[in-house]
């Protein structure tokens, strides 16, 4: 195994699509929490997005300060109300303090520099977060 004690995940599952092998940038502390979540959920957790390069993060509409950039976040596939409930209830119990709920996935991160104890949703029908950063230009 690549990460000590992390038996259900491999780095390639967390690769930023534009840089094969970049999944190794996931933080070990986050991976231990995700491993605990996997054990408590009792079913395979599919990773829709893990580590992101700045270029890929921009391409998918991620926040400029997204925890995906620092290897402290993952979007876990969650289709259906029961799967979503199991993932989220266990995540909260295990100490995840930043949770985003999409139609088909749950974003989990353990950034300590971003807001704590927050849960947000994504617009219906989207599979990625819509940027909320406003870019201003001078004419």
Tell me: does residue 75 bind Zn ion (CB under 5 A): yes
Stretch of residues binding Zn ion (CB under 5 A), selected from 7-15, 29-37, 88-96, 106-114? 106-114
Tell me: does residue 128 bind Zn ion (CB under 5 A): no
Tell me: does residue 98 bind Zn ion (CB under 5 A): no
Q: Which two structure tokens, joined as six digits, stand for 34? A: 């995700």
Q: Which two structure tokens, joined as six digits, stand for 111? A: 């950034």
User: What CA–CA distance (Å, rounded) separates 127 from 104?
Assistant: 7
- Determine contact, residues 96/108, Cβ cutoff 8 Å: yes
Tell me: does residue 107 bind Zn ion (CB under 5 A): yes
Tell me: does residue 72 bind Zn ion (CB under 5 A): no
Total number of residues that touch Zn ion (CB under 5 A)? 2
Residues 21-40 touching Zn ion, rule: CB under 5 A, are: none
Q: CA 36, 39, 42, 44 torsion: positive or negative? A: positive
CB of 139: closest distance to Zn ion in angstroms?
A: 34
- Determine contact, residues 84/108, Cβ cutoff 8 Å: no
Site residues (CB under 5 A) for Zn ion?
Answer: 75, 107
């Amino acid at each position: 195994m690549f990460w000590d004690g992390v038996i259900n995940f491999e780095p390639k599952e967390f690769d930023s699509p534009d840089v094969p092998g970049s999944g190794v940038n996931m933080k070990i502390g986050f991976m231990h929490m995700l491993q605990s979540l996997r054990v408590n959920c009792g079913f395979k957790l599919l990773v829709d997005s893990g580590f992101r390069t700045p270029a890929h993060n921009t391409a998918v509409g991620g926040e400029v300060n997204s925890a995906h950039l620092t290897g402290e976040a993952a979007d876990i596939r969650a289709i259906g109300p029961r799967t979503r409930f199991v993932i989220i209830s266990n995540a909260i119990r295990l100490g995840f303090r930043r949770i985003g709920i999409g139609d088909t996935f749950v974003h989990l991160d353990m950034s300590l520099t971003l807001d704590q104890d927050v849960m947000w949703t994504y617009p219906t029908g989207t599979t990625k977060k819509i940027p909320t950063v406003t870019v201003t230009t001078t004419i």
